[in-house]
Amino acid sequence: MSNNIITISREFGSGGRELGKRLAELLGYAYYDEEIVAAIAQRSALAEDYVNQVVERRIRSYYPITIAASFLATPDDSTYAINRSIYAAQAEILEEMAKKSDCVIVGRCADHILQDYKPFRIFVYSDMPSKVARCREKGEDGNALTDKELEKKIRAVDKARAQYYRFYTGEDLNDKLCYDLGVNTSGLQIKPLATAIAALVKSRSETE
């Protein structure tokens, strides 16, 4: 019998990470998020900051290959190979996690990479005022940026995530047909949402 896998795709500031953590706690599942980046960095011998930049944001021209060394590169075969190696390590690690136990995985194209494991795929989104408010509440540049600057950052992160997802999967991150459940967190608290979704997941597992 295969393990129960929940994947969380999300817009920046929507509360997807908190939802994933709470679901894992309520269901007794393992939770994987930033641990994935550390594992990729260790396995690929690349700097953790660089790996995080690649898997969460956009690929840039400056590539710190190890903690101690770096080089300037142009978008050629070598940069493509480096980033493909990161994605390959990511896919390998995610499969290992999926085989190990029931788990919740946030981001990292997990819904696509683990599609053969039939994960319960959740997409978390929100309106812009709610995303700005949540970023400020969580302390993510809340005091350093104006509302307009923070909105610009949110849009940039969401655009970069969508580009990364399309580049490696050929699919649209925002396509609702790619998910089993869409969660609009606009103006809502994450804790009661997590409780309701955990109940849904339990009932879904009981009927399978």
pLDDT tens digits, one per residue of 142-199 = 567 888 999 999 999 999 999 989 988 999 999 999 999 999 999 999 999 999 999 9
Token readout for 142 is: 């809340």
pLDDT more than 70, % of the chain: 76
Alpha-carbon distance of 12 to 69, in angstroms, equals 31
Query: Does 141 have pLDDT greater than 80?
Result: no
Enter the pTM of the model.
0.82
More confident residue, 129 or 140: 129
Query: Does 66 have pLDDT greater than 50?
Result: no
Alpha-carbon distance of 107 to 87, in angstroms, equals 13
Specify the range with the lowest mean pLDDT, choosing from 35-39, 97-101, 186-190, 194-198: 35-39
Q: What is the DSSP letter of 5?
A: E
Alpha-carbon distance of 173 to 182, in angstroms, equals 12
Beta strands 30-32; 62-63: pairing state = unpaired
What's the mean pLDDT in 19-45?
A: 84
Q: Residue 149 — φ and ψ, nearest 5°?
A: -65, -40
